[in-house]
């Protein structure tokens, strides 16, 4: 029996993705409070540096014996991680957490339609798309959700585009390296890519002991745990299913913003939460009924 032909693997993969998203959005809420001290790029750098240290210590990857193609996937994965996180945090500096995640998720939703093998994939993507538009205030907008900062909106959309590369390169890197080795290498590449920017923008506050401790906590919540869980999940889910489950991120982000940042939700936004949850459940149930060799992670 192939790995993708196990229904339990699909359910486990879905739970891993959701757990990772919860950690990620809680960490994002906490990190916003550090922007006045070190800025978004400084926060991203702390996340990636501490995550790389943790993952390298756990995985202890062997650097020999890998092909040029494998290294290319890992390095590309790392650069995408750096860009995706940087643009997302730049957007959080200008727009609220819920709308930022809503706009970012449009990239994976597009992938879910392209990668889906049947019309049902497009159906669930459509339901999720309606949900994220409601949640972000694009449909039936109310008050402050109607006008988002244009540059912050652009940054979130760029992050969503890079998220598509994250999904594909994470799957390929997972096939090329055993365990978490590829993820650890990619995290190190991402950290090295952002350190020069942080050195210019963050200033001396970046080395404050309290900031470093908080950065470590955010790194564990927002990077190390979710990336490890998603990295493992991509071995159990197709890119289409994985992308649709990620549509629950706006709902989780909105709830985190409500609880941790006191960001109020409108009735249409709660309706959006219902849509994305239904789409996520529908995607998992569809994957259980329609498993086969073509559902394995990665695109040909």
| DSSP-assigned letters across all residues of 110-167 | HHHHHH-SSHHHHHHHHHHHHHHHHHTTSSS--GGGG---HHHHHHHHHHHHHHHHHH
Which pLDDT score, from 0 to 100, does residue 137 have? 63
Q: pTM higher than 0.85, yes or no?
A: no
Measure the CA angle with vertex 73, ends 165 and 79; round to 5°.
60
Structure tokens at 225: 């745990």
Which pLDDT score, from 0 to 100, does residue 98 have? 82
Within 8 A by CB and 6+ apart from 294, the residues are 117, 238
Residues 48-63 as b/e (b if ≥16 CB within 10 A, e otherwise) read bbbbbbbbbeebebee
Within 8 A by CB and 6+ apart from 291, the residues are 4, 5, 6, 7, 10
Which pLDDT score, from 0 to 100, does residue 127 have? 86
Which pLDDT score, from 0 to 100, does residue 2 have? 40
Which one-letter DSSP state was computed for residue 254? H
Cβ(9)–Cβ(236) under 8 Å? yes
Q: φ and ψ at 2, to 5 degrees? A: -75, 160
Predicted confidence (pLDDT) per residue in 193-238, tens digit: 999 999 888 878 888 899 999 999 998 888 778 877 887 887 887 7
Distance CA 269, CA 230 (A): 26
Residues 125-143 as b/e (b if ≥16 CB within 10 A, e otherwise) read bebbbbbbbbbbbbeebee
Which pLDDT score, from 0 to 100, does residue 293 have? 34
Distance CA 294, CA 64 (A): 31
Distance CA 262, CA 31 (A): 15
Q: Collapsing DSSP states into helix, strand and coil, what is residue 77?
A: helix
Distance CA 23, CA 42 (A): 20
CA neighbours closer than 13 Å in the CB half-sphere of residue 18:
15
Q: Which residues of the chain carry a pLDDT beneath 50?
A: 1-5, 141-146, 290-300
Which one-letter DSSP state was computed for residue 263? -
Which pLDDT score, from 0 to 100, does residue 245 have? 76
Cβ(23)–Cβ(226) under 8 Å? yes
What is the domain partition of the chain in residue ranges? 3-295
Distance CA 165, CA 83 (A): 10
């Amino acid at each position: 029996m192939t790995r993708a032909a196990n229904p339990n693997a699909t359910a486990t993969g879905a739970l891993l993705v959701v757990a990772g998203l919860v950690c990620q959005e809680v960490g994002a809420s906490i990190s916003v409070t550090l922007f006045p001290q070190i800025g978004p790029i400084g926060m991203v750098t702390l996340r990636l540096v501490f995550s790389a240290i943790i993952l390298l210590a756990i995985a202890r990857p062997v650097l020999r014996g890998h092909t040029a193609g494998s290294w290319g996937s890992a390095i590309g994965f790392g650069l995408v991680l750096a860009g995706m996180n940087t643009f997302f945090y730049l957007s959080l500096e200008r727009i609220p957490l819920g709308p930022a995640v809503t706009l970012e998720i449009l990239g994976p939703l597009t992938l879910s339609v392209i990668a889906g093998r049947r019309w049902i994939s497009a159906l669930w993507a459509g339901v999720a798309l309606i949900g994220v538009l409601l949640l972000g205030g694009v449909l039936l907008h109310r008050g402050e959700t109607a006008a988002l900062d244009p540059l912050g909106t652009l940054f979130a959309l760029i992050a969503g585009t890079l998220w598509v590369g994250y999904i594909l390169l994470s799957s390929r890197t997972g096939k090329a390296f055993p365990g978490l080795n590829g993820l650890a290498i990619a995290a190190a590449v991402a950290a090295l890519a952002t350190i020069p920017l942080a050195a210019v923008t963050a200033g001396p506050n970046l080395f404050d002991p309290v900031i470093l401790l908080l950065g470590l906590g955010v790194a564990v919540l927002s990077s190390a745990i979710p990336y490890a869980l998603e990295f493992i999940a991509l071995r159990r889910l197709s890119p289409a299913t994985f992308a649709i489950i990620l549509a629950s991120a706006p709902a989780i982000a909105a709830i985190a913003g409500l609880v941790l940042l006191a960001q109020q939700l409108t009735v249409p936004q709660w309706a959006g939460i219902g849509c994305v949850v239904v789409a996520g459940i529908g995607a998992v149930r569809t994957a259980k009924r329609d498993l086969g060799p073509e559902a394995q992670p990665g695109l040909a």
